[in-house]
């Protein structure tokens, strides 16, 4: 209860501030015409919806308020929103990485695929796909299910296994693979497209240093994205599968208490992945910091 009351509330606060600031920065004039910023903006929007629809109930549980998980309608609607926004948050990051790959490609035809119109179409297509994929929660999930980590849960083993494995595959494993793959392909494109100056050796040396810096920056951002998604989200998918497989096994009150404690800690890790994108971008991207400074100056002058 203390973890839900204080830990979830703290992450909810930092996640809300971070995602709102991220949306503001990405709407700034230096970003709003870039397709990559469209993906990142929607990733922040869906992450904001995710943490409020998911972690507000955790905070309420810390004060023994469980009606969102006990009410049948609230349980189904909230679970559908959670599944769709979790997937959208991860795959919008994948879309941003794919757009970065398209922009760095040597072919003009491929680079022309990187447009705001294309980005909006892809985001809409992903939204429809995940709504259709997770619409099963309307039937499968019910409130006040006993012997499971949270009262709002799948009604039977087939429903639980489908939802758990779909979440593990589409929210964690596939996005991590795509992030790593397109990130490495982007770095390869940048290296092959380098044009070295001939007349001035000093410029040639500076260009090489700039290329190395960009490579390190892209690699660092890639590794941070992959590690955050994979390392922090994977325990949740694994534990959900364990909870589904052992839901029909008799458990002592002590075992249930231990599992609930572990589940509360694992759930907080998911909030971290959806709450820290702004902080990671500002730490790893100088352009983000400059845009943030301009927004702060305008707010102070206003």
Is the CB of residue 46 less than 8 Å from the CB of residue 85? yes
The model's pTM: 0.80
Query: CA 175, CA 172: separation in Å to the nearest integer?
Result: 6
The residue with tokens 């447009």 is: 115
Query: CA 108, CA 201: separation in Å to the nearest integer?
Result: 29
Which pLDDT score, from 0 to 100, does residue 193 have?
58
Q: Catalogue all structural domains in the chain, each as residue range(s) with its CATH number.
A: 2-301 (1.20.1070.10)
Rg (CA), the chain: 22
7-44 per-position pLDDT tens digit: 888 888 888 988 888 888 877 766 667 788 888 889 88
Buried b (16+ CB within 10 A) or exposed e, 89-122: bbbbbbbbbbbbbbbbbeeeeeeeebeeebbeeb
3-state secondary structure 7-50: HHHHHHHHHHHHHHHHHHHHCCCCCCCCHHHHHHHHHHHHHHHH
| Per-residue pLDDT at 285 exceeds 80 | no
The residue with tokens 């990485």 is: 97
């Amino acid at each position: 209860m203390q973890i839900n009351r204080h830990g979830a509330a703290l992450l909810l606060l930092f996640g809300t501030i971070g995602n709102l600031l991220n949306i503001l920065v990405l709407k700034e004039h230096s970003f709003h015409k870039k397709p990559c910023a469209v993906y990142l903006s929607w990733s922040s929007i869906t992450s904001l919806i995710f943490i409020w629809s998911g972690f507000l109930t955790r905070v309420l549980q810390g004060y023994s308020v469980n009606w969102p998980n006990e009410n049948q309608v609230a349980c189904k609607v909230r679970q559908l929103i959670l599944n769709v926004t979790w997937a959208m948050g991860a795959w919008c990051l994948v879309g941003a990485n794919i757009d970065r790959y398209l922009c760095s490609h040597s072919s003009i035809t491929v680079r022309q695929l990187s447009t705001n119109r294309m980005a909006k179409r892809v985001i809409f297509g992903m939204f429809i796909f995940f709504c259709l994929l997770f619409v099963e929660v309307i039937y499968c999930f019910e409130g006040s299910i006993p012997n499971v980590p949270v009262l709002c849960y799948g009604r039977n083993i087939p429903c639980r296994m489908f939802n758990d494995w779909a979440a593990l595959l589409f929210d964690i494993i596939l996005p991590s693979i795509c992030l790593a793959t397109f990130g490495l392909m982007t770095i390869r494109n940048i290296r092959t497209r380098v044009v070295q100056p001939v007349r001035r050796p000093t410029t040639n040396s500076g260009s090489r240093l700039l290329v190395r810096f960009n490579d390190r920056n892209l690699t660092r951002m890639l590794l941070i994205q992959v590690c955050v998604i994979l390392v922090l989200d994977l325990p949740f998918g694994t534990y959900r599968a364990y909870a589904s497989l052992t839901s029909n096994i008799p458990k002592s009150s002590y075992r249930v208490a231990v599992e609930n404690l572990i589940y509360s800690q694992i759930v907080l890790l998911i909030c971290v992945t959806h709450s820290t994108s702004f902080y990671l971008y500002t730490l790893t991207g100088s352009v983000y910091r400059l845009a943030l400074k301009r927004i702060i100056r305008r707010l102070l002058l206003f």
